[in-house]
Structure 1
Amino acid sequence: MLRTYFLLAWRNLLANKLASLINIVGLSIAVACSITVFLTLRNFWTLDDFHANGDRIYMLEYVQKHQDETRTFGDAPALMANALAADFPQVKHTVRVERENVTVYRNESVISEMITYADANFFDVFTFPLAQGSPAALRDPSALILSHDMALKYFPDQNPIGQPFTVLTGSREQKQFVVRGVAADFPDNIGFKFALLTGYHPVHTALKNQDWSSHISAVFVELHPRANIATLARQMKPYMVRYNARNPEKPIESFVFDNLRQPAQNAYDVDRRPAEANHPLISLVFGAIALVMMAISCVNYVNISLGGVTRRLKEIGMRKVLGGTRQQLIGQFMIENLLLCAFALAFGLLITELFLIPLFNDIMTMTISLNVGQNGTLWVFLIGLLLFTAVVSGAYPALYVSAFRPTVVFAGKLKFSDRRTVARVLLVGQFALAFIAVIIGVALTHAGKQWQNIDWGYTPDNALVLRLTDSTQYTILKNELGQLPNVRAVSGAQSHVGESMNSQSVWVGGIEKQALVFDVGPDYPQTLGLQLAQGRFFDPQRRAENTQSVLVNQTFVEQHGLKQPVVGQSMRLDSQLVTVAGVVQDFKWFGSGAERPAILRPAPESRFTYLIADFEPGRGPQVATAVTRIWKAHVPTMTPSWFYQKDVFENFNTTSRKLSAGFGVLSGLALLIACMGLYGLATQHFVRRIKEVSVRKVLGATVSQVILLVNREFISLLLVAGGLANALCFTGIQLLLQQTQPFTGGLRLGLWPYLVANGVVLLTAALAVSVQSWKVATVKLAESLKNPD
């Protein structure tokens, strides 16, 4: 019986090549999107579960109150690790982890990396197999263990073991390491990882002089089997008291432990959490993408199947007359659908491997891979997806078609008004989803362009920024660069706008506020070109006064409620009383132009890590050449690292473009599926109206009148779908912009993205039916009217 069903299904696919092709292509695209989403969500849902003892590994976190807001932080006090290991027998291991941004100078390139300092028992707690070397290397302060990716990046054609590796730390200290190990390739579902790993030793500057006020990136705790974490958590109060005695301004409310394998529900909301945590919104967004694509494809299938039902009326009637039961007809149609879905699944796997996975890995920081042979859960998902697709897309057509009565079929009295109503509703829903996808894609592209063109608050085109590697370099380089005819001004900074800054607490009127703090040279604002709104800039000649002065931006004044006159008001920053010397206009510090309260305060030259040169318009290449020449004369062992200020947000812009491109591809696929379904549905619709059109032409109807007649229903349905989608998108985007205003800044989309998206969808839909519309409108009357069908 099954063999007969499959044989009939194969013959039916061949007999209806166009409809079968449209269904297979549409379903394969949706299946590919669903597989990609599954791979992504599986990684998020199983983050770090590959560690053998993951159910007993916990991160120490603490809870504080900030302005009546309770927040949890993951950067634990450094001394808690030794205290836990010494005082609690249920604790098997504690591991301290600290991270630091470093600069790697390699083969004429300057690359920013992250180095991780970890205790020697790191590999006893975590399951990170080494492809080369020994875990004992962490006992040596000069030993370095590379991740698999770092080994390929810096030693692509050689053995890394024994190779020297030099980095420049955040404190501008040049450190020489030797590679003693290489980790095996990390799994895809990794949330806690390392790039460069070395031992946790006090000889490293970042780890010196730690006390109860010192915080590090993480303190991990591994318990003995059957130990109770709740019991340990209840015994943490004495350490909270000890910490608060040293930090009365920021007391801890409580310590909490969060499991690495099964994190708390609010783990994604923990500030400075050392391991990545799944955000529910990610699951929602990716799940919605998969459901939208599957919905569009399944609606396509249902529409086309119902649209082609008239071709199979006699077949259905004859089968029932010859004794076929409804259950047998349902089985036949479901087998046909299952075969079609199997082809779609095979093509979907191909699309996933060759197209969607490379696209996703290029856009996202997390990587996914399609290891079918080594992944049992993926096989379960694929089988489930095949059955789900077959049932959802084929159940209604099978039940509907199998219910026809032979007497009604052969008498020609069968009516399809109900089916047409269902088809209209499905088509509206299908194109509404396509409209939504395209609107989102166009809106993201428009947002990226708007962010790129936003006013910076200064002119970035004439500034070159040089990263310094030593505190003694600034004075020498400034003196030589200042003598160049094309350089108008030179200044320095410890933290540079667009490149680095610190978020710190500032007390205004006794109330704690948050602000971005930029430590800069006294002439930095003028060199960069910031605009003064009130007061004055720093005076390079009044150094003592500068140390007690700050500049604030307009957003600081507005959000923190400073009353006029602002100049002269006092506030406390880092336990120091400072006075507002001036107010600068808001400047772009982040790629999206988000506005945040900001403070500029003077920093000594000995702490400068950046040199900023303001040059004559159009003289950038000459200044860059001079900078390189001067640098090599004084620092011959290192390659200079510099950039134009206009390019400081290029990484953000690149990410924005990639994200827009990714959604653009998804919206294009959604539109392609919808238009393929429209093409198939329109083809069937036009065939049924051939004789009607012929009669109308005989009675004098023109080509334009015929085209309008046969497409009138589709036009009205598309307009309804467009209106529904635009209303939903406009409301949703406005709510989203309100919720994400701290990130999106003053982004305003207006009507332009909606007009473009609607134009694209309607034009594509018109092209999808244009060929068939023309064929119907220009049909030869003699042939159509004598057609015996």
Structure 2
Amino acid sequence: MFKNYLKIAWRNLIKDKTNTGLNVVGLSIAFAVVILLGMAAMFQLSYDDFHANVDSIYKVVRTEQTPKGPKAGTVQPAPLAPALYAEVPGVKRIARCVEDGTLALYNDKEVSMDIIWVDQEFFSMFSFPILNGNDKNPLENLNSVVVTKDGANKLFGSTDVIGKTFNLLVNGQETPFTVSAIADNILPQSNLDFQIAARFESHNEYNESKEAWDRQYHAVYVELDEGMTASVFEKSSEPFIDLHYEEGINRLKRDGATADENGRFINLKLVPLKDVHFAKFKNGFVEVSRSRPYLIFGIALLILFIACVNYINMSIAKTAKRLKEIGMRKTLGAQKQQLFFQFWSESLFVFLLSITIGVVLSAVFLNDFKSMFNTQISSELLLSPVFLVGLLLTVLVITMLVGGYPALLMSRLGTIQSLKGKLESSGSNKVRNVLMVFQFGIAILMIVGTLVLWGQIDYMRNKDLGFDKEQVVSFPLNGKRNSHDMVELLRDELSGNPDIISVSGSDSNLGLGKDGGRSSSGIGFEYKGRIVMTNFLVVNHEYIQTLGLNVVAGRSFESAGDSLGVVINEAMAKELGEQDPLISQLEIDDGVFYPVYGVVKDYNFTDLDREIAPMTFFMSRQQNLTYGFVKVSPANMANSYAAIESAWKKLEPNAEFLGSFVDENIDRTFKQEKTTAKMIASGSIIAILLSCMGLFAMSLLIVSQRTKEIGIRKVVGASVTSITYILTKDFLKLVLIAFVIASPIAWWAMREWLQNYAYKIELSIWYFVAAGALALIIAFLTIGTRTVRAARANPVKSLRTE
């Protein structure tokens, strides 16, 4: 019996090649998109899941109730971790971590490497597999390091390097370290990324800050004992906080801070390791949001929904052509369940063929997808049991629901009704119309999202940030020379080039350079009986001129001898609260006061999702510069870049030059927004394409059903325009209804998304009008081509049609 169902189903599908082809193409594309987007979403959701102890590892976050509201931070003081381990019960292991870049030197080779400075327990807490060497305690000695396979090949050209010694540049000095173990390469879904792991106590800041509770510069991860929960640990850490942060708490009270609902001013919060990748700190609270992977899942499901709507609508529309077949089968004794399985078997054929093609398409376009959307998914994920089971269940559910509904509808038709060849009021048209409204509503929603996202990206890309980003080249000072000396040597080397305007440096980049490094630093100090917080930037004396910052009061640094004073921005001037900020004396170091030389106009030194914060510029040779900046003339910018690179290679022949223009750096900070925008734009195109395929198939069926009506109308004098209007108006009306429903939803969603940015576009009505007009035009062109042809056909041929 089942074999007979399949045989008849295959014959029926082959007989109606157009509809079958459209369904297979639409569903295949939808399944391929679902597979690729599903893999991307699962990759995002799998961050740090590979660690064996992931459920008991947490990142320590400190929250404070400041006079300006609550704040949260992930950087901690060096003495916190050992004190927490010794004094608060429930800690199984604890590790401090500083992710950094370093220069590794081996023989005549100088290589920039990603390094993480960690405590001895690090490899016991985290599951970074040791492939060779000391796998029990690889960081047992202060001069021991663990090198990944990639790191070993990069530095030594081999992984057989256990026991080999090389130098790392630590605080300007070449310090020897010995390879104790080789670790496997770090998985892309790890928040901790490194090529070398070294002891935390060997970091250049450790000796000066190991007893300083007011100097924060590293992250702390804690593994709790079995049975200990995060909430219990947070509560038990309160006496610890009150003891070690007593001075800070008293300052917060003095400065007018308001306690939280529990009457506390400083707390420790634990963020689960699996949530770290999704954690953001907003208004002093830790917010964990997996909205991006869920958005990816949502786009995939919406596209699949549109393809399924097409299948349902075309299946229902084809019912009119098969009424006599259904009536004859019932007359010969066919039962409802037999008819149901007959029609459902046709759906099964279509869905099995479509999912097979979809899997092949996803494999073919996997590399293009990874490149386009900046994801590191692999084909291994496609073969994982979880993904395969999820895909199988999805296909099974869709086949039952989407294929089952039309089959159930056709099997329930009465015998007489079927033999007459007429469909009485069954609600099928209403179902079709509702589904089409949903279909085009989804497409309009995605078009609006695309337009708004690209509008925001364009706004951020072209916004005046308050500094010169087009003519400035930035590059990491990753050579072995002293960073301050290197800036001076570069200035001398380029001084004869008329296209080089100025050379400077700082300890932080603007945007995201080719090295991928980003850093910031802040300090707090007493000013007239209260704590003042500010971002802190160590610069070379020509930094302000090089970046083109606008001095609105006083002066900038004029020479290397100006290291006894500071320059501040307008936000910092407001923070000081002085009518004339130039009279201020800032006690940045204990007992040492620095006069304010000048005030620069506020500029966006961080991403545009944040307000401009106070900034203090400081000159000190005691702290290293990490990035160089060269301003070039607008003419011959390519030649100027080449001149900078040539000067670098002359001074640092063994260090890689990683220069880029600052506007490129800024553009890299929009990578996540651009990826999301491309994803939604691609989804919009596919959604419109699938909707139009369904609309085109529906127009073919309806025109074929109304062929005689068209002929009669032409005989009695109807024009091509009037007939086209009659055939298209119902469909276009559905698109308009979809626009009315989708627009408020799109407005709410986009308004909520834009709240993430301190600087954002206005949500103009034209975004919605453009989306609605685009959907309407595309729909009209899709159905208009077929209806115009039908309206222009010879009415004699139409009237002869049976």
TM-score range, shorter chain: 0.7 to 0.9
The total of aligned residue pairs comes to 773
Q: CA deviation at 1:139?
A: 3.1
Q: Measure how far apart 1:172 and its partner are.
A: 5.2
Q: Aligned runs of 1:692-707 on 2, under 5 Å?
A: 692-707=709-724
Match of residue 441, structure 2, among 413, 429, 432: 432
Q: Tell whether the 8 Å contact from 2:510 to 2:666 is kept in structure 1 after alignment.
A: no
Q: Does the 8 A contact of 2:109 with 2:654 survive in 1?
A: no
Name the structure 1 match of 2:255. Answer: none
Taking the aligned partners of 1:156 and 1:112, their CA distance within structure 2 comes to 13
Residue 236 of structure 1 aligns with which residue? 237
Q: In the aligned structure 2, how far is the partner of 1:107 from the partner of 1:391?
A: 67
1:633 offset after TM fit, Å? 4.0
1:769 aligns with 2:769: no
Residues in 1 aligned to 2:155 and 2:784: alpha-carbon distance in whole angstroms: 57
1:213-228 matched pairs, under 5 angstroms? 213=213, 215=216, 217-222=218-223
Deviation of 1:487 after TM superposition, in Å, equals 3.2
**1:267 & 1:442 partners in 2: Cα distance?**
26
Range with greater deviation from structure 2 (704-713 or 103-112): 103-112
Instruction: Supply the RMSD in Å over aligned alpha carbons.
Output: 4.1
**1:385 Cα deviation from its structure 2 partner:** 0.1
The 3 A distance-change label for structure 1 pair 522 and 670 is same
Task: Pick from 253, 273, 282 the counterpart of residue 266 of structure 2.
Answer: 253
Query: What does residue 261 of structure 2 align with?
Result: none
Aligned counterpart in structure 2 of residue 675 of structure 1, from 655, 669, 692: 692
Kept in 2: contact 1:244–1:252 (CA 8 A): no
Which position in structure 1 is the counterpart of 2:25? 25
- Is the counterpart of residue 385 in structure 1 residue 397 in structure 2? no
Give the aligned partner of residue 649 of structure 1: 666
Q: Which residue in 1 is equivalent to 2:555?
A: 537
* Deviation (angstroms), 1:677: 0.9
> Is the 1:535–1:583 contact (alpha carbons within 8 Å) kept by the matching residues of 2?
yes
**Equivalent residues in 2 for 1:352-363, closer than 5 Å:** 352-355=362-365, 359-360=369-370, 363=373
Aligned to 1:396: 405
State how far apart, in whole Å, the 2-side matches of 1:366 and 1:564 are: 53
Amino acid at match of 1:347: I
> TM-score, normalising length from structure 1?
0.85
Q: Which residue of 1 aligns with 2:303?
A: 293
Report the more deviating stretch, 688-697 or 724-733: 724-733
Greater mean deviation of Cα atoms: 155-164 or 447-456: 155-164
Could you say if the C-alpha distance between residues 636 and 197 of structure 1 is closer, same or farther in structure 2, counting changes exceeding 3 Å?
Answer: closer
Unaligned runs of 5+ in 2: 253-263, 513-518
Q: For the Cα contact (< 8 Å) 1:360–1:662, is it kept in 2?
A: no
Q: Deviations over 1:87-111 (max 9, x none)?
A: 6786544333332244679999999
2:333 to 319, 323, 334: 323
Which residue identity does 1:196 align to in structure 2? Q
1:73-126 deviations in Å (ceiling 9; x for gaps): 444543344345556786544333332244679999999764112333433333
Moved more, 433-442 or 584-593: 584-593
Q: Check the 8 A contact 1:314/1:410 in 2, yes or no.
A: yes
**Residue 740 (structure 1) shift:** 1.2
Compared with structure 1, are the counterparts of its residues 654 and 416 closer, same or farther at alpha carbon in structure 2 (3 Å cutoff)?
A: same
SS at match of 2:669: helix
Aligned equivalents of 1:668 and 1:438: distance in 2?
A: 8
User: For residues 360 and 572 of structure 2, what CA distance do their matches in structure 1 show?
Assistant: 53
User: Which residue pairs with 1:726 in the alignment?
Assistant: 743
Deviations, residues 728-754 of structure 1 (Å, cap 9, x unaligned): 3234323322x2123xx1334645544
Q: Cα distance, 1:207 vs. partner?
A: 3.2
Shift of 1:55: 4.0
- Does the 8 Å CA contact 1:59/1:260 hold for their aligned counterparts? yes
User: What is the one-letter code of the residue matched to 1:130?
Assistant: I
Secondary structure of 1:97 counterpart: strand
- Whole-Å Cα distance in 2 between the matches of residues 110 and 310 of structure 1? 76
Q: Could you tell me which residue of structure 2 aligns to residue 309 of structure 1? A: 319
* 2:241 aligned partner, one-letter code: M
Please give the alpha-carbon distance, in whole angstroms, between the structure 1 residues aligned to 2:401 and 2:55: 38
Matching residue of 1:784: 798
Task: Tell me whether 453-462 or 221-230 shows the greater mean CA deviation.
Answer: 221-230
C-alpha displacement at 1:418, in angstroms?
A: 2.6
1:64 aligns with 2:77: no
User: Which shows bigger deviation, 389-398 or 409-418?
Assistant: 409-418
Q: Does 1:684 pair with 2:701? A: yes
* Other-structure match for 2:683: 666
CA 1:327–1:76: 2 relative to 1, 3 Å:
farther
Question: Aligned letter for 1:531?
Answer: N
Structure 1 residues 334 and 212, CA gap change in structure 2 (3 angstroms):
farther
Q: What is the correspondence of 1:466-545 to structure 2 with a 5 Å cutoff?
A: 466-468=475-477, 469=479, 470=482, 471-498=484-511, 501-505=520-524, 515-532=534-551, 534-540=552-558
Moved more, 752-761 or 286-295: 752-761
Quote how far apart the aligned CAs of 1:321 are.
Answer: 1.6
Does residue 205 of structure 1 match 2:204? yes
Query: Residue 235 and residue 717 in structure 1: after superposition, are their counterparts in 2 closer, same or farther (change >3 A)?
Result: closer
Report the residue type matching 2:495 in the other structure: G
2:140 alignment partner in structure 1: 139
Aligned residue identity for 1:741:
Y
When structure 1 is superposed on structure 2, of 47-56 and 596-605 the one drifting more is 47-56
Instruction: Give the deviation of 1:508 after TM superposition.
Output: 7.9
Unaligned runs of at least 5 residues, structure 1: none
Cα distance in 2 between the residues matched to 1:141 and 1:624: 41
3-state SS of paired residue (1:648): helix
Cα 1:610/1:95, change in 2 over 3 Å = closer
DSSP-derived class of the 1:414 partner: coil
Per-residue deviation, 1:778? 2.6
Q: Deviations over 1:252-282 (max 9, x none)?
A: 7344555546x69x98246999xx9962423
Question: Which amino acid in the other structure matches residue 704 of structure 2?
Answer: V
Given that residues 482 and 490 in structure 1 are in contact (C-alpha distance below 8 angstroms), is that contact kept between their aligned partners in structure 2? no
Instruction: Give the % identical residues.
Output: 24
1:584 to 596, 600, 615: 600
Letter in 1 for 2:454: T
Query: Matched residues in 1 for 2:272 and 2:466: separation?
Result: 45
Equivalent-residue separation in structure 1 for 2:181 and 2:374 (angstroms): 28
Residues 128 and 183, structure 1, Cα contact 8 Å, conserved in 2: yes
Aligned residue identity for 2:745: L
Q: Matched residues in 2 for 1:732 and 1:94: separation?
A: 41
Contact 2:41 2:294 in 1 (8 A): no
Encode CA deviations 1:140-191: one digit per residue, 9 max, x unaligned: 5555434456567x3798546468877656x555566565544335567x44
SS in 2 for 1:457: coil
Match of 1:35 in 2: 35
For the pair 1:351 / 2:361, whether they are aligned, the reply is: yes
State whether residues 62 and 254 of structure 1, in contact with CA within 8 Å, keep that contact through their aligned partners in structure 2.
yes
For the 8 Å contact 2:645–2:657, the answer to whether it is kept is yes
- Supply the distance in 1 between the matched residues of 2:420 and 2:722 (Cα, whole angstroms): 33
Letter in 2 for 1:438: I
Q: Secondary structure at the match of 1:488?
A: strand
